[in-house]
Structure 1
Amino acid sequence: MENPSGKAARPLRVALDARYVQEHFPGIGRYVYHLAEALAALPEGPHLTLFYNLSQTTPRYDLPALAARFPRKITLKETSARPFSLAEQYRFFFPALRGHYGAWHAPYYLRPYLLPRPTVLTVHDVINARLPGAMPSRKTRLAFAVTTRLALLTSKKIITVSQAAARDIEQLYGVNPAKIRVIPHGVSPSFRPLDPAEQAAARSRLNLPKRYLLYVGINKPHKNLARLLEAFKLYRDQSGDTIRLILAGKEDARYAGDLREKARQLGIMEQVEFRGEIAESDLPGLYACATLFVFPSLYEGFGLPVLEAMASGAPVICADNSSLPEVAGEAALYFPAENVAAISTAIGEGLGQSEELRQKGLARARLFSWQQAAEKTLAVYKELSSKK
């Protein structure tokens, strides 16, 4: 990159708050890591400074190794200020000032609010406003409302991951649409179909049943897993099919017991496998060997597991709400999330159309990439930097 004088222009400097690359934020951590990786891979990408907390990391995403791969594009800066802490409100002001950043990218609404650099905020969803029952107390709901509005108000640009989420932000918070940029997630190349030998190895390594329905995600109430258990039992009872159900993903201890008790009450505990959190290296195999992927969520800002399942060659059925039809397009079968009988029927139809759904899903997944997400995000950074 050169300026009019013929000298090489200095790359745009961007601070990306990577403190969320940790176990407490599995989805946001994945977003930050893959976005940083894709931005660093762009030929004319920015120079990224990743602020991270060494005491709160995850083996899933190795930030020092990422910085070592892109030594001219990524600098790591350690901080002791943790998310949710008072310290984060004052410890980043002077580092931001000294860093001469064209933009500060906050991937979460709980963030430093008073910064001397223009801020880009990524809003992944507004579930706590759309489904207030997702938060346990009135006090918590009030805190969420105040901090979300403060984050939106103090950000120059807002990135969100779907048109559905953008509409929610506009309608629920009165944000000017001109301030919002919709940039969908990408999908990692590690999610791909496996050949027969690779499938056999994955089945052996993960001890997978021959046929199984799969759900991947957290176990919070809005994921609608209680109805999925009911629909699974109804499908098995009506069809006589002996297919199993695997529930995989990080478990919130507050709800883990409830779902197991539900399975016991339904008499399907022996047919349901609660796998809990899955290693990043094992996820592609789990998806690729699935007979059918089922995603019954009541609300999503994006729905990345749907895209990962499609990219892995798993046929997909999912709820017909929020962002899910936008992500899956015509490559999935849909059902109303609150209708157990409809979910059961969709399971049967999905199994009957599995090869067609598989091919459509593979084609759909190819429309999403982290490179595209990085290019569009870089354009937002440049827009902000030019207005300083």
Structure 2
Amino acid sequence: MGSILNPKTGGEYYDNRLYQSFRELNPSNIEVITDKSFSKNRLELSKELYRRINNSDKNDITIYNTAIFPYIIFALFRNSLSRNKKVVLGIHHHFRFKEQSGFKRLIFYILEKLCLKLSTDIICPNPYIIDGLKKIGCNKVTYIGHPFEHKVQSISNHEKFKFLYVGTVYERKGLTYLIDAINLLPDKLKKEIELNIVGETSHTQYVDNLRTKINEYNLDSTIFLRGRVSKDDLNKYYCNAYCFLFPSLYEGYGLVIEEAMSYGLPVIAFNNSAIPYTIHDKENGLLANNRDSLDFARKIELAINDETLYEVMCKGALHSYSKSHSLTDFKKEINTLYTKLQKTYE
């Protein structure tokens, strides 16, 4: 897995951009502490965060990813009681409690909500998450969208029957539903389709389960787990794809959706979480009923059989990407936030 200094996921790339942009504004007084820094002893992470936020005389701005809320919550609570409160900004990509179930989900909800409310401000890259924050009473939110360079690049040649998924291969990404959907396609289509699954495969148990399912369905010559690939090879996969398939079960944003659209690829995905904020049904992609593999299979068939609709969605995908947040917008918004914080807490 990656980190803010060695990004591999969409969220990590966002955090890295944020960090680099703040460094440009104040290069001498910013450093990175992540949960990876103290992976051998998470208690040390809690102690270090507490010390840096509450025992420092510097008027620093602390920025953290809210994924580490169990380790920073005591530091935030102590800071809230201090007369000389420090500025603590949380980067919130998605709600961790939604990945849990049962009693653990309730505990995560309480602690995550408290952590968010104790922060000075929350930086959020997606309107979907902002809506969710407001529903739980968190109104101190600053929207700074995911930045895209909008550089000139190749467009897919839309090779029919070639489908692509890009992303980390683990449970939240819903790939078992995608394999089921491919298996539900008519036999004639299954023989023609090629699905390339590209991305980190370090979650070995889940990957093994996928391989078993692929074998059971006799889809070894249809579905290929490619693992991580080079940038050049990834570009080739995008350029040769007909459609991008994204069966994720929960997304705070889904950066890879925009990436696929930059190649002119329509995206087929489940209708959940932040996904319909980016994918508009029959305009730049297709939305299937959530966790419904049969409906997902029907959407794949529709994309193949309705050429007029497919052309509309290809144009719509490129248009959506052209309207996405630029790197210039991103830096301006960070500068505005930084200036506001300096004036408020100087």
Report the TM-score, using the length of structure 2 for normalisation.
0.79
Judge conservation of contact 1:192–1:284 (CA < 8 Å) in 2. no
For 2:127, the aligned partner's letter is Q
Measured after TM superposition, the shift of residue 301 of structure 1 is: 0.7
Q: CA deviation digits over 1:327-361, x for unaligned, max 9?
A: 23442221113222211121122233433322211
- Structure-2 change in CA distance of 1:363 and 1:145 (3 Å): same
- Which residue number in structure 2 is paired with residue 272 of structure 1? 223
In the aligned structure 2, how far is the partner of 1:81 from the partner of 1:234?
Answer: 45
- Which residue number in structure 1 is paired with residue 5 of structure 2? 21
- Which residue number in structure 2 is paired with residue 175 of structure 1? 137
- Structure-2 change in CA distance of 1:222 and 1:359 (3 Å): same
- Structure-2 change in CA distance of 1:144 and 1:188 (3 Å): farther
Q: Secondary structure at the match of 1:270?
A: coil
Alignment equivalent of 2:295, drawn from 338, 342, 345: 342
Q: Secondary structure at the match of 1:387?
A: helix
- Which residue number in structure 2 is paired with residue 60 of structure 1? none
Q: CA deviation digits over 1:37-88, x for unaligned, max 9?
A: 45667xxx4547552479x6xxxxxxxxxxxxxxxxxxxxxxx655972223
- Structure-2 change in CA distance of 1:217 and 1:380 (3 Å): same
- Greater displacement, 225-234 / 346-355: 346-355
- Which residue number in structure 2 is paired with residue 333 of structure 1? 286
Q: CA deviation digits over 1:242-276, x for unaligned, max 9?
A: 02011111222231111111111111122111012
Judge conservation of contact 1:212–1:290 (CA < 8 Å) in 2. yes
Percentage identity across paired residues of the two chains:
22
Alignment equivalent of 2:97, drawn from 118, 129, 132: 129
Alignment equivalent of 2:118, drawn from 138, 150, 154: 154
Measured after TM superposition, the shift of residue 95 of structure 1 is: 5.7
- Which residue number in structure 2 is paired with residue 62 of structure 1? none
For 2:296, the aligned partner's letter is I
Q: Which runs of 5+ in 1 are unaligned?
A: 1-17, 57-79, 200-208
Judge conservation of contact 2:165–2:244 (CA < 8 Å) in 1. yes
In the aligned structure 2, how far is the partner of 1:22 from the partner of 1:117?
Answer: 28
Judge conservation of contact 2:238–2:263 (CA < 8 Å) in 1. yes
In the aligned structure 1, how far is the partner of 2:64 from the partner of 2:40?
Answer: 11
- Greater displacement, 375-384 / 297-306: 375-384
- Which residue number in structure 2 is paired with residue 381 of structure 1? 338
Q: Secondary structure at the match of 2:333?
A: helix
Q: Secondary structure at the match of 2:184?
A: helix
Judge conservation of contact 2:89–2:121 (CA < 8 Å) in 1. yes
Question: Is residue 318 of structure 2 the alignment partner of residue 359 of structure 1?
Answer: no
Alignment equivalent of 1:247, drawn from 183, 197, 222: 197
Report the TM-score, using the length of structure 1 for normalisation.
0.72
- Structure-2 change in CA distance of 1:192 and 1:318 (3 Å): farther
Q: Secondary structure at the match of 2:221?
A: helix
Q: Secondary structure at the match of 2:154?
A: coil
In the aligned structure 1, how far is the partner of 2:29 from the partner of 2:237?
Answer: 34
Alignment equivalent of 2:154, drawn from 193, 203, 215: 193
Alignment equivalent of 1:304, drawn from 234, 248, 255: 255
RMSD across aligned C-alpha pairs, in angstroms?
3.4
Judge conservation of contact 1:19–1:52 (CA < 8 Å) in 2. no
For 1:222, the aligned partner's letter is R
For 1:256, the aligned partner's letter is V
Q: How many residues align?
A: 324
- Which residue number in structure 1 is paired with residue 181 of structure 2? 231
In the aligned structure 1, how far is the partner of 2:230 from the partner of 2:210?
Answer: 22
Measured after TM superposition, the shift of residue 122 of structure 1 is: 1.1
In the aligned structure 2, how far is the partner of 1:243 from the partner of 1:19?
Answer: 35
For 1:86, the aligned partner's letter is L
- Which residue number in structure 1 is paired with residue 59 of structure 2? 100
Judge conservation of contact 2:156–2:242 (CA < 8 Å) in 1. no
- Structure-2 change in CA distance of 1:283 and 1:107 (3 Å): farther
In the aligned structure 2, how far is the partner of 1:225 from the partner of 1:22?
Answer: 25
In the aligned structure 2, how far is the partner of 1:83 from the partner of 1:32?
Answer: 23
Q: Give the alignment of 1:27-106 within 5 angstroms.
A: 27-37=10-20, 45-47=25-27, 49-52=29-32, 81=38, 85-91=42-48, 97=56, 99-101=58-60, 103-106=61-64
Q: CA deviation digits over 1:153-175, x for unaligned, max 9?
A: 3311112222222222333xx23
Measured after TM superposition, the shift of residue 380 of structure 1 is: 2.7
- Structure-2 change in CA distance of 1:192 and 1:335 (3 Å): farther
Alignment equivalent of 2:166, drawn from 200, 209, 216: 216
- Structure-2 change in CA distance of 1:87 and 1:22 (3 Å): farther
- Which residue number in structure 2 is paired with residue 67 of structure 1? none
